């Protein structure tokens, strides 16, 4: 029984490891808790995915969906990215077929690291069921369940997560007593979440002065030129192509003093090697599990206001819920704003009142909602 190292009162309900010798696909699915609904969480594809990482992410989804008060449970999936050349569609559809029996009753897929709208279309094509994944292309429609007309996807490329991060940042700055207009912001990670967070924050007057992608960091003292940066985003070029900034080493990103730091990249990006050099007043966790809880607690004790990941970056899963219900993008953005603003205000206000760090407050709210659902289900 020593293999059951993740087991506690919440779950996980299923840990599924799949392998297809024909395609070489190796994948992991963790369905953590379905008391509030089917497990919802994205599929990431990386060369070093582990069972522990997938479990931690699945548990985060349990709390994220509960805190957003949407009828989903928590789950996550990971596919080991093969070395060398490989056919991504073949691997994705092999994984979809391997876990098909669990979808969508127990698990609903979505985009994550190295997967997006295209991969979600491949996934539902392989399962043959529109509702087995969200984040599908907007122009990928099908008649479903005998209803008249067509339903379309709401891809994460619409920027729902980055939009939610920007709204959470605005609320956190207001509660902190900081004017978001002119606030100096650093964003680590410039994929889907980071790019949209940059665009929405810039639109409300924040000054993004520091950006980083996998190749390094760029500092722009007076903020970035939006036209040049949009061209880089459009052409999918690395940030090093930005001509008007100062190129920094990746490790020097964390040393630059800013008002607001937004980690929007990979798991545990804030760690023992850089936690002591961070000079931000507010941290908004746009990426999933950007640091371990003891480090988060340490930074919180130093006076940094931290909005946890499952509060700040819930825009993506709220968007997934909107797509699942058949809502249009306009209604989706309205729901994302309402839920993210409400959750951020509630968590930070209670944190300030009680003296507990925001994660503890948010976790207590989410746990009670999941516990109530478990009681109702008879667990």
Catalytic residue numbers, as ranges: 76
C-alpha distances (whole Å) from 1 to each of 7, 31, 32, 33, 172 are 10, 19, 18, 20, 44
Phi and psi of 269, rounded to 5°? Answer: -70, -30
Give 118's Cβ-side CA count (13 Å radius). 6
Q: State the Cα–Cα distance between residues 141 and 151, nearest whole angstrom.
A: 5
**Cross-strand partners of 108:** 40
Q: Which residues on adjacent β-strands are paired with residue 25?
A: 20
Residue 66 CA: distances (Å) to CA of 70, 172, 344: 6, 21, 14
3-class secondary-structure state, position 129: coil
The candidate with the shortest Cα–Cα distance to 345, out of 312, 301, 298, is: 312
Angle, helices 358-377 vs 293-301, to 10°: value is 140
Q: Is 330 exposed, middle or buried (0-12, 13-18, 19+ CB in 10 A)?
A: exposed
Output Rg (C-alpha) for the chain, integer angstroms.
20
User: Which among 27, 72, 70, 21 is positioned nearest to 50, based on CA atoms?
Assistant: 27
- Helix, strand, coil fractions of the chain, as percent rounded to 5: 45, 20, 35
Tokens 């056919």 locate to 87
Omega into 28 within 30° of 0, i.e. cis? no
Asked if residues 81 and 47 have their Cβ atoms less than 8 Å apart, the reply is yes
């Amino acid at each position: 029984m020593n293999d059951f190292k993740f087991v506690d009162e919440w779950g996980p309900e299923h840990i599924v490891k799949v392998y297809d010798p024909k395609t070489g696909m190796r994948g992991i699915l963790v369905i953590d808790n379905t008391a509030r609904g089917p497990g919802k969480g994205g599929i990431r594809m990386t060369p070093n995915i582990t069972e522990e990482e997938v479990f931690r992410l699945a548990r985060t989804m349990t709390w994220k969906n509960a805190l957003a008060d949407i009828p989903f449970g928590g789950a996550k999936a990971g596919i080991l990215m093969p070395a060398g050349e490989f056919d991504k569609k073949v691997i994705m559809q092999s994984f979809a077929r391997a876990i098909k029996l669990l979808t969508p009753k127990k698990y609903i897929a979505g985009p994550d690291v190295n997967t997006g709208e295209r991969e979600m279309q491949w996934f539902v094509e392989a399962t043959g069921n529109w509702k087995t994944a969200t984040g599908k292309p907007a122009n990928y429609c099908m008649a479903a369940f005998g209803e008249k007309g067509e339903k379309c996807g709401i891809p994460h490329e619409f920027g729902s997560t980055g939009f939610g991060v920007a709204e959470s940042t605005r609320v956190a700055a207001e509660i902190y007593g900081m004017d978001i207009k002119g606030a100096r912001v650093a964003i680590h990670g410039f994929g889907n979440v980071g790019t949209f967070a940059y665009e929405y924050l810039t639109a409300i007057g924040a000054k993004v002065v520091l950006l980083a992608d996998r190749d390094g960091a760029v500092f722009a003292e007076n903020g970035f030129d939006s036209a040049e940066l949009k061209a880089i985003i459009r052409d999918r070029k690395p940030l090093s192509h930005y001509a008007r900034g100062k190129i920094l080493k990746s490790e020097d990103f964390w040393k630059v003093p800013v008002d607001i730091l937004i980690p929007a990249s990979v798991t545990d990006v804030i760690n023992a090697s850089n936690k002591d050099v961070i000079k931000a007043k507010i941290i908004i966790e746009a990426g999933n599990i950007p640091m371990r809880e003891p480090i988060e607690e340490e930074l919180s004790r130093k006076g940094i206001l931290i909005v946890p990941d499952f509060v700040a970056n819930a825009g993506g899963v709220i968007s997934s819920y909107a797509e699942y219900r058949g809502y249009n993008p306009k209604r989706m953005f309205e729901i994302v704003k309402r839920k993210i603003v409400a959750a951020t205000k509630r968590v930070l206000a209670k944190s300030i009142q009680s003296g507990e760090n925001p994660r503890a407050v948010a976790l207590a709210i989410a746990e009670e909602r999941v516990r109530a659902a478990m009681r109702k289900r008879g667990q």
